[in-house]
Chain A
Amino acid sequence: MIAERLPLPQGVVDALRCLEGAESRHFVAMDPHHDGAARNETVLPWCAACSRAHWYPALHCPICGRDGWEWRGFGREGTLDSWTVVCHAVTPALRSSVPFTVGLICPVQAPGVRLVSALIVRPDEPLRIGQPVFAGSGPELGRGRLLVFSTERSP
């Protein structure tokens, strides 16, 4: 399970509590995205007029202005667009979690979208931009289950 290998959750929960007004409200309910994560699937808002996915969720399509989204699945495959190894804990709550790797992921089937994801890597595994990564089901955190990418395809 990816969740067992993810170093972040408790530290992030504590860090989120440190922020003012930790309750988040969004224009678009993101339940389909989090439900998709439970199935190891990348689920994103889709504009039928533009025929493309958009991320982050917005009040209306940023290209054509159309209101209303469909949610569609875009598989598990992604490519690594950039990453960083976070070494410094910006809040005390993250001290036990560093270092960890965070990536920007482009879903192969949703060009133009970039997802932020904690990245599950093997110890000392070399990374390269453009390499394949795979979506999996992460822990429950914040408003739902996280979609978390790994350099290895999990079952």
Chain B
Amino acid sequence: MSRRAKRVACITGVGESVYQRRCAIPVAGLVHAAVTAAFDDAGVTAGEIDAVFTESSVMPTLFPTDKLIAQERLAGVRQASYHSTYGPGIGQAVSAAAAAIDAEDIDTALVYFGVDFGSRPGAVYALHGVHPLKRDLEFTHGLFGQPTYFALFARRYMHVYGVGEDELRDALCAIAVRTRENALTNPAAICTEPLDPERYAAAKMIADPLCLYDCSLTSDGAAAIVLSRAERAEQPVRVLGAGYGQSLLDESSVFTQNPSYPRLPFVQASADRAFAAAGVGREDIDVAEIYDCFTISLLLQLEDMGFCTAGEGAAFVANGAIGRDSPLPVNTHGGLLSQAYVMGINHIVEAVSQLRGRAGAGQVAGATLAAVGLLASREHATLILEAPR
């Protein structure tokens, strides 16, 4: 039997809360809404959940597994675990759940994530404020906040690949505009205003060369994913392959001391492992949902995940490669830039919706294979998902 044939684990249900810039509902309530919707979608009850999985940076303090289990009355849970950080941790939670189901350790798993970074002042910056080295060696010089880190990447990228500032800005504008176009087809997206190149060009600069529209939203929201065996669902989305890559540098030094800077070699490792596990190529992917905390971070991942070669990303994007009608539609839900900043669990939900043909006005016709790329400062996870047969 091939490795692929052994994979029985599927995503059988997804659910999302409302996504808002600032929401009056606490994270517990947002998670409850998402879990309820995911259970309804999967056709499971709380008592059927054997295991819960989430990431390890935000959830342990914001809404840990014990609170989830008690709140949702998950009486049958016999495994609860946290995986790596932020978006890659959510991806790892899905792949760990799938592996446990494939191994017949469990039957049904719940993956969840929720956040209130839109409501809590400074919350998104505090993620990096916990590192003493950053505090003493970076903040004291004004390198403070995620836009500044990725601005350094963008500037270095231009130099290494001989990309002019106008050329890069055109590419980043194309990413922002295409992503917003996708958000406008998604009723669940926070952003409802059109974005065109003129508005992009007039936007406030945040950390040169990155302007307002190059930066993710900050928002409140939650999502949940149910995994089980294929035969238990009407529209099972198979987890065909998963990959993870990481850096030997820790989070305090990875933005400035990465010897491969501005490249992200752990992204390549993650994608290579996922595609090898799935037994498919980049050319087979119908739709890609890729972590877009910044336009430049999406561009770098397009290259490092192997959808185009290093240094080609600006031309690739500016030539329309990621649009809805292109061979590789990207972030069809509006992404972190225009749907909501929930650290990429919305990217997994969107991939599932696309593969089930339930993406509404944003549906990519005939989508049968999706790639999800999830980035954090020093690690990356890739999922390859397959449509119901």
Contacts and interface: CB of A to CB of B under 8 A. Distances in A.
Interface stretch (B83-91, B138-146, B374-382): B138-146
B159 A16 contact: no
Chain A interface extent, by class: 35 or more
B372 to A, nearest CB: 29
Interface string A91-106: 1001001001010100
B256 A114 contact: yes
Most A-side CB within 10 Å, residue of B137, B145, B252 = B137
A83 B155 contact: yes
Interface string B123-151: 00110011011011111111111011001
Contacts of A1: none
A97 B140 CA distance: 13
Nearest to A129: B159
B155 A116 contact: no
A107 B141 CA distance: 17
B156 to A, nearest CB: 4
A86 B256 contact: no
Contact of B139 (A15, A21, A104, A115): A15
A146 interface: yes
Contacts of B129: 19-20
A87 B142 contact: no
Interface in A44-79: 55-57, 62
Nearest to B158: A129
Contact of B140 (A82, A88, A141): A141
Contacts of A82: 152-153, 155-156, 159, 262
A117 B138 CA distance: 7
Interface stretch (B34-42, B172-180, B187-195, B203-211): B203-211
A22 B135 contact: yes
Given A19-B126, A20-B130, A142-B140, A84 B135 contact: no
A118 interface: yes
B122 A18 contact: yes
Most B-side CB within 10 Å, residue of A8, A20, A116, A130 = A116
Given A20-B130, A104-B152, A129-B156, A87 B140 contact: no
Interface in B332-359: none
Contacts of A113: 257
Interface in A2-46: 8, 12, 15-16, 18-22, 24-26, 30
B133 A21 contact: no
A85 B145 contact: no
A56 B257 CA distance: 8
A86 B159 CA distance: 19
Given A55-B257, A86-B207, A88-B207, A94 B132 contact: no
B253 interface: yes
B259 interface: yes
How would you classify the secondary structure of chain A's contact residues: helix, strand, loop or mixed? loop
B24 interface: no
A75 B355 CA distance: 58
A90 B248 CA distance: 29
B135 A19 contact: yes
A133 interface: no
B152 A86 contact: no
Contact of A94 (B133, B144, B147, B152): B144
A87 B130 contact: no
Contacts of B248: 62
A21 B109 CA distance: 36
Contact of A21 (B130, B210, B259): B130
A56 B137 contact: yes
A148 B137 CA distance: 11
Contacts of A130: 159
A36 B148 CA distance: 27
Contacts of A15: 139, 144
A88 B205 contact: yes
B202 to A, nearest CB: 14
Given A12-B142, A94-B144, A102-B143, A24 B136 contact: yes
Given A15-B139, A142-B140, A88 B147 contact: yes
Contact of B259 (A22, A112, A117, A148): A112
Most B-side CB within 10 Å, residue of A20, A86, A143 = A86
23 contacts: A19-B129, A21-B130, A25-B132, A26-B133, A56-B257, A82-B152, A84-B148, A84-B155, A84-B208, A85-B208, A86-B144, A87-B208, A97-B142, A100-B142, A102-B141, A104-B152, A104-B156, A114-B256, A115-B137, A116-B138, A116-B141, A116-B256, A129-B156
Given A86-B151, A91-B122, 19 more contacts: A12-B140, A12-B144, A15-B144, A16-B139, A20-B129, A56-B252, A82-B152, A82-B153, A83-B152, A84-B207, A94-B142, A94-B144, A102-B148, A112-B259, A116-B256, A118-B141, A129-B156, A130-B159, A142-B140
Interface of B: 122, 125-126, 129-130, 132-133, 135-145, 147-148, 151-153, 155-156, 159, 204-210, 248, 252-253, 256-257, 259, 261-262
